Amino acid sequence: MAAAVLVTHRTRPGKRDQVRDTWQAHMPAAVSANPGHLAYFYTFDSADADVIRAFQVYSDKEAAQAFLNTDSYRDYVAAVEPLLAGPPEVAISQVVWAKGA
């Protein structure tokens, strides 16, 4: 059963663009090469200029957990941590219903 992951980053004030640049340096290639990723959305919060959310859909919970343990993801987190107000919030959910999946 598919799994959804929502990662929320709260950046230090005014650092959202730097966080995005860091994400672009680390994540697109890793996500594109990962067969477990079915969908990936990198978003900026419309109401808070210091919030970024990544919404991801994986083939299953194991694929989601495996990606969070890759060197690529750990390297990204290490590079981005100085730009964040705190650690990312990560929520993993079971997909019960989806349109277009």
DSSP state of 12: S
Give the C-alpha separation, 6 to 61, whole Å: 13
* 100 within some domain: no
Check which CATH number belongs to the domain holding 32 and give it: 3.30.70.100
Residue 57 is predicted with a pLDDT of 96
The pTM assigned to this predicted structure is: 0.88
> Partners of 10 in the beta sheet?
51
Q: How many domains does the chain have?
A: 1
Q: Is residue 25 a part of any domain in this protein?
A: yes
Tell me the pLDDT of the chain (101 aa) as tens digits. 899 999 999 999 999 999 999 999 999 999 999 999 999 999 999 999 999 999 999 999 999 989 989 999 999 989 999 999 999 899 999 999 988 75
* 71 in any annotated domain: yes
In a domain, 99, yes or no: no
Residue 46's φ and ψ, nearest 5 degrees, are -75, -25
Alpha-carbon gap, residue 11 to 40, rounded angstroms: 20
Task: Let me know if residue 101 belongs to a domain.
Answer: no
> Within a domain: residue 47?
yes
pLDDT at 101: 57
Instruction: Give me the domain span that covers residue 45.
Output: 3-94
